[in-house]
Amino acid sequence: MSSIPGSAAAIDGRHPALRVRDLEVSFATEGGILRAADRVSFDLNPGRTLGLVGESGCGKSVTALALLRLVPPPGRIVGGEILFDGVNLAKVKENRLDKVRGRRIAMIFQEPMTALNPVLTVGDQIAEVLRVHFDTAKADAWSAAVDMLARVGIPDAPARAKSYPHQLSGGMRQRAMIAMALICRPDVLIADEPTTALDVTVQAQIIDLMLQLQQDMGTAILFISHDLGVISEIADEVMVMYAGRVIERSPAESLFGAPLHPYTIGLMETLPRLDGRPGRLPAVPGTVPDLRNLPSGCRYSDRCPLADEACRHRDPDLKPAGVGRFVACLKVAP
């Protein structure tokens, strides 16, 4: 199995904050073993954002959860390495992992209500994080929480810190969750569709906020979204997943400027645009594949305009294609 070097590794002479190599996550089901994430490799670098984009069932959320070993059963990590600070998180003992979760690698989700405790004020919850991880004194933790809430743009933070999650708007709740995630100044932030449930104007504000905080704190971000537009506004590098595989990884500019994989090309063409013309849109034929029923060979071969016999027999590996670019397609990188 070929291991792919991290493309944007050691930018500015710094080391990646997190390296993932050949990560494999499987679900044992009645119908057999489903490979939800198959040989996924990437690096997360300080101060940079890797965008992970794909449609339903592509494995993007499973990949995110796997980084902190949070994949719900019957899913489990069956192969590969998650290297963080010299240890392999895929193998390390649970108590060691607890020192990493939330403190050095934090996570935010689509729906803050599921991550926030409804019976605690947001200030208390954020302060609690500091107290658990650093044993901070109560008063200090509270004032740090209030500072953090102000920093994520919550107006009148000292008063709002005393609010319960349901008393905040969706946008304010998402800001509170970001405050909670960043209070320990983690090296890595995993953001799984953090703006998907928000209105477009609020979404834009949250993206601006995340970019600003990243600049200040140097956090490495894995940003997961189904929305190519959102990814293009936040990511430095982009990874596209399809049916459990990474099918393309490129610096954002080159991916959006000239996508390589026929699937990425199809996705970009089918995207409705503000400056588009009225009327029919180019469409990708077929539907997103079911992991229980994958086509043989390349997983995109049944929808691909370029596919031939070879594509239906061989599942292509991710191979280099130009500077910092990788693609899994026999037609582009045989």
Partner 1 sequence: MSGEALLEVRDLSKEFRVGGEGLFARDARRLLAVNDVSFSIEAGEVLALVGESGSGKTTLSRAIAMLEPPTRGSVRFQGQELTGLGRRNLRPVRRRIQLIYQDPYGSLNPRLTVGAIIGEPLAVHGIGSRDERQFRVAQLIQDVGLSPHDLARYPHQFSGGQRQRIAIARALALEPSLIIADEPVSALDVSVRSQVLNLLLDLRRSHGLTYLFVSHDLTVVRHIADRVAVMYLGRIVELAQTNEIFNNPRHPYTRVLLDAVPEVGRGKRRPREKLAGEPPSALEQIPGCAFNPRCWITRAECFHTRPELEPALGDSSHLAACHLRNEGRL
Distance CA 42, CA 187 (A): 16
x/- map, 287-316, partner 1, by CB under 8 A: xx--------------x-------------
**Choices 26-34, 96-104, 268-276, 312-320; region in contact with partner 1 by CB under 8 A:** 268-276
**Choices 31-39, 116-124, 272-280, 322-330; region in contact with partner 1 by CB under 8 A:** 272-280
Distance CA 179, CA 113 (A): 14
CB of 249 to partner 1, least distance (A): 17
Binder of partner 1 out of 272, 293, 309, 334 (CB under 8 A) = 272
Smaller CB separation from partner 1, 138 or 292: 292
Q: Work out the angle between the directed axes of helices 170-182 and 200-217 (0-180°, nearest 10).
A: 20
Distance CA 233, CA 285 (A): 27
**Backbone φ and ψ of 101, nearest 5°:** -60, 125
Count of chain residues binding partner 1 (CB under 8 A): 52
x/- map, 183-202, partner 1, by CB under 8 A: ----------------xxxx
CB of 307 to partner 1, least distance (A): 15
Q: Does 232 bind partner 1 (CB under 8 A)?
A: yes
Q: Does 254 bind partner 1 (CB under 8 A)?
A: no
**Choices 30-38, 233-241, 308-316, 325-333; region in contact with partner 1 by CB under 8 A:** 233-241
Count the Cβ atoms, other than its own, within 10 Å of residue 33: 12
Closest CA to 163 of 106, 109, 112: 112
Can you say how many angstroms the Cα of residue 293 is from the centroid of all Cα atoms in its chain? 25
- In 3-state terms, what secondary structure has residue 239? strand
Residue 178 and residue 108 in contact, taking contact as beta carbons nearer than 8 Å: yes
Smaller CB separation from partner 1, 34 or 68: 34
Region 14-73 residues binding partner 1, contact defined as CB under 8 A: 55-56
Closest CA to 330 of 294, 301, 302, 303: 301
Distance CA 220, CA 193 (A): 16
> What is the torsion angle, in degrees rounded to the nearest 10, for the CA atoms of residue 48, residue 50, residue 51 and residue 56?
-150
Smaller CB separation from partner 1, 29 or 212: 212
Q: Does 278 bind partner 1 (CB under 8 A)?
A: yes
- Binding residues for partner 1, per CB under 8 A? 55-56, 169-172, 199-205, 207-208, 211-212, 226-230, 232-236, 252-253, 256, 266-268, 270-285, 287-288, 303
